[in-house]
Copies of this chain bind each other. A is one copy, B any other.
Amino acid sequence: MSYRAPIDDILLALNHGAGFSRAVAAGHMGDYDPDMTAAILEEAGRFAADILAPLNTVGDTVGAKFADGEVTTPPGWIEAYRNWVDAGWGGVAAPEAFGGQNLPSVLNCACMEMWNSANMGFALCPMLTMGAIDALEAHGTETLRNIYLSKLISGEWTGTMHLTEPQAGSDVGALRTRAVPAGDGTYKLSGSKIFITYGEHDMTGNIIHFVLARLPDAPPGTKGISLFLVPKFLVNGDGSPGARNDIRAASIEHKMGIHASPTCVMVMGDNGGATGYLVGEENAGMACMFTMMNRARLGVGLEGVGLAERAYQQALAYAHERKQGRGVGSTTKGSDPIIVHPDVKRMLMTMRAMTMAARVICYATGAAIDISHRAQDAKVRADAVARAALLTPIAKAFSTDIGIEVASLGIQVHGGMGFIEETGAAQYYRDARIAAIYEGTNGIQAIDLVTRKLAPDGASVRALMGEMEPVIGRVEASNNPAFGMTGARLREAFAALERASRWLLETLPKAPNDALAGATPYLRLWGVTLGGCMLADQALAALANADLAHIAPRAVASARFFAENITVTAGGLERTITEGAGGVSGADVALAV
C-alpha cells in the first residue's frame, strides 16, 4: 500500500489549527517567509512517499540483523539513508552555522509526521539524532560542538540516547553506569544500557552516543547523573573517525514491531572504559536529558500521528475498493463497496478525526517551541515556554494512544484480511504500540501534566483555555448547520475541563494519590477538548478563506465528527477524575496476589 502525503490536511493544521500563520504574522517566527511552507512540505512528502515508504514492508519482514557486534540494516536502508543525507532532511530546523537550514522546528514536525507515516523504523534514526543535536547545541562545549555538530546535522554521523538500564527505566535516577575522570579532561565509562535505538548500525561511519552515567562521588538519584558524549570511533584532529572506542552492541531485541530499528543492548568498559566527554556540568545530566527528551516526546507523538495517518489511508482505500453486501436502499447491481455502510463510515471517520486532532496538537506544540526561541518579546517567549511545557505531555500521550486505536480500527476495516501480515495493516498496529511507552510512558506523561504543568497554580492551563473559549463562541455564533452539535459538545467539554482542573489543583496538595488516580483521564480530557477546539478553529479558518474553499467541507465534517463522537466523552472523563479516586485507592483489595 502506497503512502500519499496529505499536504492539504497538514497545511490546514499547521497554518490555522496550530496557529503558525498567526505566529508568523505576529513576527514570532523571525524573518521566516511563509510562502516557502507548501514547497518544503511537498518536497518532504515526495521523499517520504518515493524513498521511505517503499521500504516499510521490507523493514518489517527482514528487520535489522545482529551478528558479532555488528548490525545489518534491511536491504535498501543504506541507500535510503544516503539519499536522506544528500537531501539535507536532517538539518531542516538545525542552526545554519553548522549547516542546517534554521527553519522553524514546526516545519520539521510536519516532516517528521511524514517520515513516520512512510517508515517509522527508518524515521527513528534521525529522530534520535535530532535529540542529540539539541543536547549538544544547548549544553556542549564549543570544542565538542565544532567537532560533532555539523556531522550530526548533515547526517554523516548519527546520534543516540543512552538512558535505560535494566533497573532504571521510568526511574532514570536508579542508573548505575559509571564515569571516572581520566585525568586529561575525558572520562572512562563502564556499564551497560538497554533499549538503545540504533545503538549500532551500518549506515554511517560513526555513531555518537549520548550516555547518562554517574561520577564516583555523585549524589544518589537524579541529582547525581551526568551526560557524556561517547563516540563509537574517537575522532582524529582532522575530523575523521579514528580508534574504535570501548562501547559496543551486545545484542538486539526481538520486538513486536519496528523490526527495522535495531534496539540494542550496549556495553561499555570491556577494555578499560569507553572514552567520554562531559556535556553540560557534572551532575547536571538530567537537565541535558530533558533537552533531548522534550523534543523526543513531541517526536514520539508524531509517530502516533504518522502511523494513524498511514493506517487511515490504507483502510480508506480498502473500504472504497472492497465490495461486500449492499447499502440500505442500494440500487447497484451486485455488491457495494463497504464504505457505503454507516458502521464502516464511523470507523473511518473515527480514524480520520482522531488523526487530525492529534496532528494539530503536535503541531501547536512545535509552534510553541519555536515561539519560545524566536519571538522578540521576552514575555511572549516565556509564555511560549509554558505553553510548550503544557502541550508536550498531551502531544506525546494523546497522539500515541490514538495511534494505537486508529491502527486497531484500520485492521478492523479490513476484516479478516487485516490479520494477514501481507496486507500491511497489522504492521501499523504492531509498530504503533511502542510509542505509548518510550520517552516516558503515557502514564508518566499524565502525571507530568497534573503535577508539573497544571500545578502549582494552573496559570498555563488558564492561559490556554482562555484561547480555546473564543473558538467555541465562534462555532456557536456561526450558526452553520454543518457543524451539527459541535458548539454544544465543545462548550460542555470546556466546562468539564475547567471543573476537573480546579478539582485536581485543590486535591493534589492534600491528597496527591487521589489526584494521581485521575491523571490519565485528565490527559485524555485535554486531548478530546483541545483537539476538538483546534479542529473547529481550523474548520472556521477554512470556511473564512477563499483559498481553502476546496477543503472547508471536509474540515467542518471532521471537526463535527470529532466533537460529536470523541469530545462527547468529556463528561464521563470528568466524573472519572473527580469522583473515581476512591475506587482506585480502594482497589488494593482486588489487586492483592
* A binding-site residues for B, Cβ under 8 Å: 164, 167, 169-171, 174, 194-195, 253-257, 316-317, 319-320, 323-325, 327-329, 335, 339, 341-349, 352, 404, 408, 411-412, 415-416, 418-422, 426, 429-430, 433-434, 436-438, 441-443, 446-447, 482, 484-485, 512-514, 516-517, 519-520, 553-554, 557-558, 560-561, 564-565, 568-572, 575-576, 579-593
CB distance from A425 to the nearest CB of B (A): 9
A443 close to B572 (CB less than 8 A): no
The 8 closest A-B pairs by CB, nearest first: A554-B590, A342-B517, A256-B426, A343-B443, A557-B590, A342-B516, A171-B325, A569-B572
Distance of A560 Cα from B583 Cα, bound (Å) = 6
B195 close to A416 (CB less than 8 A): yes
List of B residues within 8 angstroms of A352 by Cβ: 590-591
Distance of A415 Cα from B166 Cα, bound (Å) = 12
Among B169, B194, B327, B430, contact of A430 (Cβ-Cβ < 8 Å): B430
B484 close to A586 (CB less than 8 A): yes
List of B residues within 8 angstroms of A560 by Cβ: 583, 586
List of B residues within 8 angstroms of A516 by Cβ: 328, 341-343
Among B171, B342, B564, contact of A576 (Cβ-Cβ < 8 Å): B564
Chain B residue at minimal CB-CB distance from A312? B591
CB distance from A433 to the nearest CB of B (A): 6
Q: Using known A-B contacts A316-B593, A565-B576, A590-B558, determine if residue A342 contacts B421 with beta carbons closer than 8 Å.
A: no
Chain B residue at minimal CB-CB distance from A317? B593
User: From DSSP, what is the main secondary structure of chain A's interface residues?
Assistant: helix
List of B residues within 8 angstroms of A320 by Cβ: 593
Among B256, B554, B579, contact of A419 (Cβ-Cβ < 8 Å): B256
A349 close to B590 (CB less than 8 A): yes
Distance of A565 Cα from B521 Cα, bound (Å) = 9
Among B404, B561, B572, contact of A584 (Cβ-Cβ < 8 Å): B561
CB distance from A193 to the nearest CB of B (A): 12
Q: Using known A-B contacts A254-B420, A580-B564, determine if residue A345 contacts B587 with beta carbons closer than 8 Å.
A: yes
Chain B residue at minimal CB-CB distance from A446? B343
Distance of A588 Cα from B558 Cα, bound (Å) = 10
Among B255, B316, B412, contact of A591 (Cβ-Cβ < 8 Å): B316
B586 close to A557 (CB less than 8 A): yes
Distance of A564 Cα from B586 Cα, bound (Å) = 12
Q: Using known A-B contacts A408-B404, A437-B412, A438-B416, determine if residue A589 contacts B342 with beta carbons closer than 8 Å.
A: no
Distance of A329 Cα from B422 Cα, bound (Å) = 51
Known: A411-B437, A484-B582, A561-B583. 6 other contacts (CB 8 A): A257-B419, A343-B519, A352-B590, A418-B437, A568-B572, A568-B575
A169 close to B415 (CB less than 8 A): yes
B591 close to A345 (CB less than 8 A): yes
B316 close to A254 (CB less than 8 A): no
CB distance from A317 to the nearest CB of B (A): 7
List of B residues within 8 angstroms of A512 by Cβ: 328-329
List of B residues within 8 angstroms of A587 by Cβ: 345, 348-349, 557, 561
List of B residues within 8 angstroms of A426 by Cβ: 256, 433
* Selected A-B contacts with CB under 8 Å, 29 pairs: A167-B323, A169-B324, A170-B415, A195-B416, A256-B419, A316-B591, A319-B591, A327-B513, A329-B512, A339-B591, A341-B516, A342-B514, A343-B519, A343-B520, A344-B443, A345-B588, A346-B517, A347-B443, A348-B591, A349-B587, A412-B436, A429-B433, A484-B582, A554-B592, A557-B589, A558-B590, A564-B575, A564-B580, A571-B571
CB distance from A8 to the nearest CB of B (A): 12
B437 close to A169 (CB less than 8 A): no
